[in-house]
Amino acid sequence: MFEDTKAVAFALDGTVYRGSRLVDGIDEVIRQCRKLGKSVFFITNNSSETRSQIFHKLRGMGIDCTFREVLTSGYAAALYAHRERLNNIYICGSKNLVSECEKLSVHSVEAEEAENMLIGLDPEFDYAKLAAASNVALKVDRVIACNKERSYPGEDDRLMPGCGGMVASVEWCSGRMVDLTIGKPNTFMLKEVSEQLGLAPEEILVVGDTYDTDIVMAGKFGSPSVIISPHVYGDTVSVDNVRELLNLIGTPAAE
């Protein structure tokens, strides 16, 4: 069905892995994509870990990939801030998000010096951090969110609160909405894939498990998509499990 696509962008949490467990059959699907000559990318809204950490996690799970094939909302937000030359950014997020920003010379400052703010997922988010971020939001020029995802699947399919819970808390307490959300369903990361490979949107297939982020992103960008879900959505192809992707993507020619 998607023989004409030249690249496949896989979501990670819930599609490639759930916590520390690889989704059954996904490694075979990725290998088949490569055998068919398709480029492969991995796009995640996870901003609590660096690209390097995600890359090594995939490699440790037996997924053949390169560093440049991994895009995270944290990296994308840092890249945006770097390109826009945003100064004095207060980072309400994990130490890994601070590290990701520093790699692109986007330096984190204390609340008193803040001119802009970036909000990312932080497993150690607490009342004190909420109070600080809410006050920063009242005075800065721009507030950027890595994403507004409600939740993601953790270990043993346990539902884990996403970055959206933090963003909503800061918005509610400060009365200020974020100015820009970088991660899915924003098309920023998918655009990076398109520009890196020189491909048109219709040549990139998005494979995900969440309609509101993965599939909406694909639709906004003009890319075809497949959702791994028991539910049927009218504007995308639905499959019940990962292994059903093999027939959709195509079969490598016999050697």
Whether 164 and 232 map to the same domain: the answer is no
Token pair listed for 122: 């932080």
Whether 173 and 193 map to the same domain: the answer is no
Whether 177 and 191 map to the same domain: the answer is no
Whether 162 and 90 map to the same domain: the answer is yes
Whether 124 and 196 map to the same domain: the answer is no
Instruction: Name residues whose C-beta falls within 8 Å of residue 37's C-beta, 6 or more positions apart in sequence.
Output: none
pTM of the model: 0.92
Helices (H) and strands (E) counted in the chain, each on its own, are 9, 14
Give the whole-angstrom CA distance, residue 71 versus residue 59: 15
Residue 65 in domain: no
Domain boundary among 134, 159, 181: 181
Q: Which residue has the higher pLDDT, 246 or 149?
A: 149
Give the whole-angstrom CA distance, residue 56 versus residue 63: 10
* Residue 183: closest CA among 4, 12, 64: 12
Question: How many Å separate Cα 205 from the centre of its chain?
Answer: 15
Residue 160: domain span: 85-181
pLDDT number for residue 132 = 97
Q: Which of 33-37, 74-78, 135-139 shows the lowest per-residue confidence on average (mean pLDDT)?
A: 33-37
The yes-or-no verdict on residue 242 having pLDDT over 70 is yes
pLDDT number for residue 54 = 97
The yes-or-no verdict on residue 253 having pLDDT over 70 is no
Residue 63 in domain: no
Residue 56 in domain: no
pLDDT number for residue 245 = 86
Domain boundary among 139, 157, 181: 181
C-beta of residue 183 within 8 angstroms of C-beta of residue 142: no
The yes-or-no verdict on residue 255 having pLDDT over 50 is no
Token pair listed for 111: 């609340």
Whether 176 and 199 map to the same domain: the answer is no
Mean pLDDT of 9-38: 93
Q: Which residue has the higher pLDDT, 254 or 77?
A: 77
**Proportion of the chain above pLDDT 90, given as a percent:** 82
Residue 219 in domain: yes
Mean pLDDT of 119-135: 97
Domain CATH code at residue 111: 3.40.50.1000
Whether 140 and 202 map to the same domain: the answer is no
How many Cβ atoms from other residues are within 10 Å of residue 68's Cβ? 10
Residue 55 in domain: no
**pLDDT band with cut points at 50, 70 and 90 for residue 1:** low
Whether 129 and 153 map to the same domain: the answer is yes
Residue 151 in domain: yes
Whether 139 and 216 map to the same domain: the answer is no
pLDDT number for residue 252 = 64
**pLDDT band with cut points at 50, 70 and 90 for residue 98:** very high
C-beta of residue 120 within 8 angstroms of C-beta of residue 163: yes
The yes-or-no verdict on residue 146 having pLDDT over 50 is yes
Domain boundary among 181, 202, 218: 181
Whether 95 and 36 map to the same domain: the answer is no
Give the whole-angstrom CA distance, residue 200 versus residue 241: 27
Residue 80 in domain: no
Find the helix or strand (DSSP H, E) in which 237 lies. Answer: strand 237-239
C-beta of residue 79 within 8 angstroms of C-beta of residue 107: no
Whether 154 and 100 map to the same domain: the answer is yes
**What is the longest distance spanned by two Cα atoms in the chain?**
64
The yes-or-no verdict on residue 40 having pLDDT over 60 is yes
Whether 122 and 198 map to the same domain: the answer is no
pLDDT digits (tens, 9 = 90+) for 168-204: 999 999 999 999 999 999 999 999 999 999 999 999 9
Mean pLDDT of 154-161: 86
Q: Is 119 helix (H, G, I), strand (E, B) or coil?
A: strand
**Proportion of the chain above pLDDT 70, given as a percent:** 98
Number of domains comprising the chain: 2
Residue 39 in domain: yes
* Average pLDDT across the chain, whole number: 93
